[in-house]
Structure 1
Amino acid sequence: MDHGGGHEMPAARCSMNMLWNTQIVDTCIVFRSWHIYSSFTFLLSFITIVLLGITYEYLRKAQRTLDIRVASGLVRNNSADMKTPSTRNAEDPPKRRHLSAQSGSETVRCFVYPVPTNLRIQRSVLYGVSVFLSFFLMLVFMTYNAYLIAAVVIGASLGHYIYGGQLEAEAILVGTSDAGKNIACC
């Protein structure tokens, strides 16, 4: 828009690359409004993406922690129910189901417990947010910008270092890692 002074600002354009690139200025990240205009806004964007990668790893850890808390509560509550005399009538459904499955050469026995609605909601919300963030980071990755890809990888690596400080060694060795989501008891 010219106000009589002859100084018209050119409209900034988002550069959309479908090839590997190292462009900094005029790169847009996911939204047209997340437009990198300078080296400084690039640095802020880089740091933001690293923090999003760390947040994603935090969410994965929070999911595992919540699942462990829920699982231990379900087992504890159902163990107490098994020790006390049953007051339920024969038509009440049992609180858990027994599953058997083959895992390699051995039979694995496990129980599947119904999860109360409030805990299912918590687990679902946490899962939904982590899925959203994972796809958002995938879209950042799809800018094909080497620096932004590095920010995603650095964020994920730092997040894994920060939140991955414990390992369930026995579960991994017997093939039941990943919060009980193995083929034997799914």
Structure 2
Amino acid sequence: MAHDHGHSMDHATPDTGMDLMMAATDDPHQHHTTASAGHDHGSMGMMHMTFYFGYKNVELLFSGVVINTPGEMAGAFVAVFLIAIFYEFLKIAREGMLRKSQVSIRYNSMPVPGPNGTTLMETHKTVGQQMLSLPHMAQTLLHILQVVTSYFLMLIFMTYNAYLCIAVAAGAGTGYFFFSWKKAVVVDITEHCH
């Protein structure tokens, strides 16, 4: 008798916003997933709009990649961390390749005022390469890879899962630390006059 009473109470309660939203979709899989999750706000199909720490039903870029355990979250953290490091490496590697594949270099000098009324000569270097060349084709493919990787990292950050956001930030910082210091030295030594 108590079971019947509890069952009738379930039907008497008004739908929550989550139930109304899922009822409005035509995808029965999403409705089933939400119902079986017990109206958990971290369930699949519901997008978080604030940062949260969690590892249940976290979709990672693709619908089939869902994190549900602490071990899966740890694995995803390491993977995202490495992707962010790779992104920083890719940026610096492309710049290094561009410097090595330069095919035409032009120097322009112009006078600039110096201290105590003197005149200094400032030299600017202009670098170019041919459009239909193997280095430019390689640069184009690497540019596509860099753009796709950057969007993947952005979408991962937009899950608002704090663990994954920390992985993106930590990977970007680590990659910059290991790969960008040479770039900073080169810029300070050879390109100090803009």
2:73 matched to 1:58? no
2:141 matched to 1:110? no
Question: 1:124/1:109 Cα in 2 relative to 1: closer, same or farther (>3 Å)?
Answer: same
In the TM superposition, what is the alpha-carbon distance from 1:108 to its structure 2 partner?
A: 4.6
In the TM superposition, what is the alpha-carbon distance from 1:109 to its structure 2 partner?
A: 3.4
3-state SS of 2:54 partner: coil
In the TM superposition, what is the alpha-carbon distance from 1:104 to its structure 2 partner?
A: 10
3-state SS of 1:19 partner: coil
In the TM superposition, what is the alpha-carbon distance from 1:16 to its structure 2 partner?
A: 1.9
- The answer for the alignment partner of 2:65 in structure 1 is 34
Counterpart residue type for residue 160 of structure 2 = Y
3-state SS of 2:93 partner: helix
Q: Which segments of 5 or more consecutive residues in structure 2 lack a partner in the other structure?
A: 1-35, 38-42, 115-120
Question: For residues 35-62 of structure 1, what are the alpha-carbon distances to aligned partners after superposition, in whole Å with 9 as ceiling and x for unaligned?
Answer: 1011111111111100101111111121
Q: Which segments of 5 or more consecutive residues in structure 1 lack a partner in the other structure?
A: 1-9, 76-95
| 2:129 and 2:136 in contact (8 A); partners too | no
- The answer for the alignment partner of 1:47 in structure 2 is 78
Counterpart residue type for residue 123 of structure 1 = Q
Question: 1:38/1:14 Cα in 2 relative to 1: closer, same or farther (>3 Å)?
Answer: farther
| 1:24 and 1:36 in contact (8 A); partners too | yes
Question: For residues 124-166 of structure 1, what are the alpha-carbon distances to aligned partners after superposition, in whole Å with 9 as ceiling and x for unaligned?
Answer: 1111111110111011111111111100011112212222342
Q: Percent identity?
A: 24
Of structures 1 and 2, the larger Rg is shown by: 2
2:45 matched to 1:18? no
Question: For residues 56-92 of structure 1, what are the alpha-carbon distances to aligned partners after superposition, in whole Å with 9 as ceiling and x for unaligned?
Answer: 1111121122012112xx25xxxxxxxxxxxxxxxxx
| 1:14 and 1:35 in contact (8 A); partners too | no
- Which whole-Å CA distance do the structure 2 matches of 1:167 and 1:24 have between them? 38
3-state SS of 1:53 partner: helix
- Which whole-Å CA distance do the structure 2 matches of 1:60 and 1:29 have between them? 24
In the TM superposition, what is the alpha-carbon distance from 1:110 to its structure 2 partner?
A: 2.9
Higher helix share goes to which structure? 2
Runs of 4+ in 1 over 6 A off after TM superposition: 96-106
- The answer for the alignment partner of 1:67 in structure 2 is 98
Q: Higher relative contact order at CA 8 Å, sep ≥6: structure 1 or structure 2?
A: 1
Question: 1:28/1:101 Cα in 2 relative to 1: closer, same or farther (>3 Å)?
Answer: farther
Higher strand share goes to which structure? 2
2:174 matched to 1:158? yes
| 1:15 and 1:27 in contact (8 A); partners too | no
2:158 matched to 1:142? yes
Normalised by the size of structure 2, how large is the TM-score?
0.63
Normalised by the size of structure 1, how large is the TM-score?
0.65
- Which whole-Å CA distance do the structure 1 matches of 2:156 and 2:95 have between them? 25
